[in-house]
Amino acid sequence: MFGFSRPQWIAFLVMVALIVVSPFVLYPVFLMRVLCAALFACAFNLMLGYVGLLSFGHAAFFGMGSYVTAWTMKFWHLDAFFAMALGGLTGAALGLVLGYLAIRRSGIYFAMITLALAQMVYFFCLEAPFTGGEDGIQQVPRGHLFGFIDLSNDMTMYWVVAAVFLGGFLMIHRIIHSPFGQVLKGIRENEPRATSLGYRTDDYKLIAFVLSCGLSGLAGGTKALVFGIATLTDVHYSTSGEVVLTTLLGGLGTVFGPAMGALIVMSMENYLAQAGAWVTVIQGGIFMLCVLAFRRGVIGEIANWRKLTL
Amino acid sequence: MTLSRRSILTAAAASALTVPALPRLAHAQSAAIKIGVLNDQSGPYTNTGGATSVICAKQAVQEFATAQGLSVEVISADHQNKPDLAVSIVRQWFDRDGVDMLLDVPTSSVALAVQSVVREKNKVYLNSGAASSALTGEQCSPNFIHWTYDTFMLAKSTGGAMVKAGGTSWYFLTADYAFGKQLQSDTSDLVKAAGGTVAGASQYPFPGTTDFSSFLVQAQASKAKVIGLANAGGDTVNSIKQINEFGINKTMKVAALLMFVTDVHALGLDVAAGLNLTESFYWDLNDKTRAFTNRVKDKTPKNWPNMVHAGCYSATLHYLKTVHDMGAAEAKKDGVATISRMKAMPVEDDCFGKTTIREDGRNLTPAYLFEVKKPSESKGPWDYFKQVVHTPGEAAYRPLADGHCSLVKA
């Protein structure tokens, strides 16, 4: 099932074990933040790692997902399940529109087009009345899941977030190891050859983009629910940059890399928060170190060292 | 030169060894009471709050708690003016770090965002840095006291004085978030009630705007008599500098609706001379304020306390007195009970004298309208203000019934 190889099974079981054990040791709200960032990074990795397209505007999908979830929770009093699902669908729908325009180019042009479109989304969010501008949508209730699971308890919320993350993770893994995923990797390696084999590569790229954006929106919506707030930070281009950093740090094009990257980046932000402005300097330093010395990222280096596919 | 992985790692390891351990990361012993100062330590409000707020809170701890044998720890963090970051810091403070009282929290959008977290966790929240009068209006909370000033008091004091002096038509330059909008609407109401008109407003993105020229040109084109600056901190300083560069101050009067002595210090008297502004504290008001300033100024020589800093001192002192009165264990248990005890106890300190706290959480500090001195009038360091009008606390703030706070029984 899911197309896991033996080392991947082991790594997956280790990850699940960590997810189950860690809330009893660490602060659950922090772990939820890590899981949301991990899902976002996994979704981003689907584009960068497996299609080879660097999107510099993924914050737009993450942020719109978080706004829509927050808004529907607060004003429509939807069930948490539908609110998160709507967040994901919003990301996917926006991804369809923006992706339709962006996938016509690749490389630096693709990155610039996605960045420009994401900035348009940012200014839309800044000015649109429903987002609350600079204040964001505040005091969002966590509400109930399926009508009877009360999410106001941190531990309950944690299990829901963990389930969302694992669901998204398995979905991405399934996509990558499906025939569809093989075509994506083919496009990444040599697009003209894929075209010559009769694949309509634009359609494949667009579908992958929409899937990636939908999962990003889901991650954003989940985050909004956890913290009860959706703000401009979520759509800001620095969030787009952070997800690139997360993915590269963990290991580009590996299944487990982005989750590992999210753990590292979020831990730095969290435990170094007292160091004020130094956080970004330290992040920058680690990023440079990683690019210079560990180009495959943490998981990528381990995989390369043990000759495994992780 | 090519860098080998080994040499990079060796260099990184060597530099890591030489970096001294970050002192503030060390875990201190658990104290009876823990105070968390949350404010802007790297952005536009660094000088108006920042490290000096922490110093003033610690001063109160040192003066009161040490004498009473109460063990108190003060921790701080930078919220970077981001509501979501602030919410996650505050949650962690309450859940993990055992913080009992949240202090300062400038930037109204952030102040409003953490309000619900404090209420959910039933802690104490004393706000000195944020201005929005909504905090004691529709968004009021039984866990909250607004200590130092608010948008209504600023609008009434500075705006009222400007209208009286003939500034009957206004154009606003507004920071586009909760505080700026509230200050603009409070001032507009007041100007209209006094028979004036509002010609228009430019709202600019916050934080991050440093170039105000296009907004200033619009303001000039409006032909209004007064340009009202509904912003604060570094933004106010930048906009006043640019107003001077454009020469707009020759045709329009400038009303800096929220300005602190620290901003005047940053601008210099050459630029700031003649401006009217309102604060509830100034170091040179009387013997007691001078005595307070003398106690703390050596710890923060480049940034003497303004009203926000004084408010942090005053709020911490009153909180500690209340904790001492009701017992630390009781105070830790119930934030609402602590706040109602604080409202019942008389407030007195060197900075604001005697004040009372209203049931909606409004601390009735006096409002002073100041005029910034000319360079020739200033006799020493930080000698910047002349007092023009003194409004006692009872008359300075929005009447209780007009705030629509749910805690107030009609």
Does B28-149+286-365 match B152-279+367-396 in CATH topology? yes
Question: What pLDDT does B125 receive?
Answer: 96
Strand partners, B372: B385
Tokens of A39: 């899902």
Q: Which residues of B touch A138 (CB under 8 A)?
A: 83, 109, 112-113, 116
In angstroms, rounded to a whole number, what is the distance separating the alpha carbons of residues B240 and B249?
9
pLDDT of residue A213: 96
* Residue with the two structure tokens 């494949």: A204
| Radius of gyration for the alpha carbons in chain B, expressed in angstroms and rounded | 22
CB nearest A134 (choices: B22, B87, B177): B177
Q: Percentage of chain A with pLDDT > 70?
A: 98
Task: Name which of B241, B278, B248, B242 is nearest B261 in CA terms.
Answer: B278
d(CA B101, CA B107): 18
Mean pLDDT calculated for residue range A106-124: 93
Give the whole-angstrom CA distance, residue B57 versus residue B75: 10
Of A201-210, A241-250, B28-37, B257-266, where does mean pLDDT reach its minimum? B28-37
Q: Do B25 and A271 count as a contact with CB atoms less than 8 A apart?
A: yes
What is the C-alpha to C-alpha distance for residues A46 and A258, in angstroms, rounded to an integer? 10
Those residues with Cβ within 8 angstroms of residue B336's Cβ, 6 or more apart along the chain or in another chain: B122, B142, B143
Q: What pLDDT score was predicted for residue A85?
A: 95
Q: How far is CA B330 from the centre of its chain?
A: 29
Q: Please give the sequence-ordered ranges of beta strands (E in DSSP) within B114-231, or none if there are none.
A: 124-127, 144-146, 169-175, 197-204, 226-230
Confidence at residue B6, expressed as pLDDT on a 0 to 100 scale: 73
The tokens for B354 are 């005697």
Instruction: Find the largest Cα–Cα distance for chain B.
Output: 78
Question: Taken in order B249, B255, B259, B264, is the CA torsion positive or negative?
Answer: positive
pLDDT averaged over every residue in chain A: 90
Tell me if the pTM is above 0.80.
yes
Q: Is A273 helix (H, G, I), strand (E, B) or coil?
A: helix
Please name the helix (run of DSSP H) or strand (run of DSSP E) that holds residue A216, with its range, or none: helix A201-227
The CATH class given to the B152-279+367-396 domain equals: alpha beta
Chain centroid offset of residue B407 CA: 24
d(CA B20, CA A90) in angstroms, rounded, equals 47
**pLDDT level of residue A106 (50, 70, 90 thresholds):** confident
Interface residue A57 vs chain B (CB under 8 A)? no
Tens-binned pLDDT, residue by residue, of chain B (410 aa) = 466 777 776 776 666 665 544 444 444 445 689 999 999 888 888 888 889 999 999 999 999 888 888 889 999 988 888 888 898 889 989 988 899 999 999 988 899 999 989 999 999 999 999 998 999 998 899 999 999 999 999 999 998 888 888 888 999 999 988 788 889 999 999 999 888 899 999 998 877 788 999 999 999 999 899 999 999 888 999 999 999 998 888 888 888 999 999 999 999 999 998 888 999 999 999 999 999 999 999 999 889 999 999 999 999 999 999 999 998 888 998 999 999 999 999 999 999 999 999 999 999 999 999 999 999 999 988 999 999 989 999 999 999 988 899 988 76
**B216, two tokens:** 């200033």
Distance from CA of B311 to the nearest CA of A (A): 23
Partners of residue B82 in chain A, C-beta under 8 Å: 231, 233
Q: Checking phi first, is residue A136 left (phi over 0); if not, alpha (psi -120 to 50) or beta?
A: left
Tell me the domain boundaries of chain B.
28-149+286-365, 152-279+367-396
Q: Tell me how close the Cα of A228 comes to any Cα of chain B, in angstroms.
A: 9
What pLDDT is attached to residue B58?
94
ipTM over 0.90: no
For A100, residues 6+ apart whose C-beta sits below 8 A from its C-beta are A206
Return the CATH number of the domain spanning residue range B28-149+286-365: 3.40.50.2300
Q: Which residues in chain A have Cβ-Cβ distances shorter than 8 Å to B206?
A: 134
Residue A276, pLDDT score: 60
CA-to-CA separations, B252 to A110, B135, B215, B246, in angstroms, rounded = 48, 32, 14, 11
The DSSP bridge pattern shows strands B124-127 and B144-146 to be parallel
Which amino acid appears at position B388 of this protein? Answer: V
Distance, C-alpha B178 to centroid of its chain: 14
Contacts of A259 (CB under 8 A, 6+ apart): A15, A38, A41, A42, A169, A250
More confident residue, A162 or B45: A162
Q: Which of B227, B216, B221 is closest to B162 using CA atoms?
A: B227
Q: What pLDDT sits at residue B198?
A: 93
Interval A152-168 mean pLDDT: 93
A10 min Cα distance to partner chain B (Å): 29
Q: What is the pLDDT of residue A214?
A: 97
DSSP type of residue A150: E
Residue B28, chain A, CB below 8 Å: the answer is: no
**For chain A, counts of helices (H) and of strands (E):** 13, 2
Is the Cβ of A154 closer than 8 Å to some Cβ of chain B?
Answer: yes
Helix (H) / strand (E) containing A263? helix A257-271
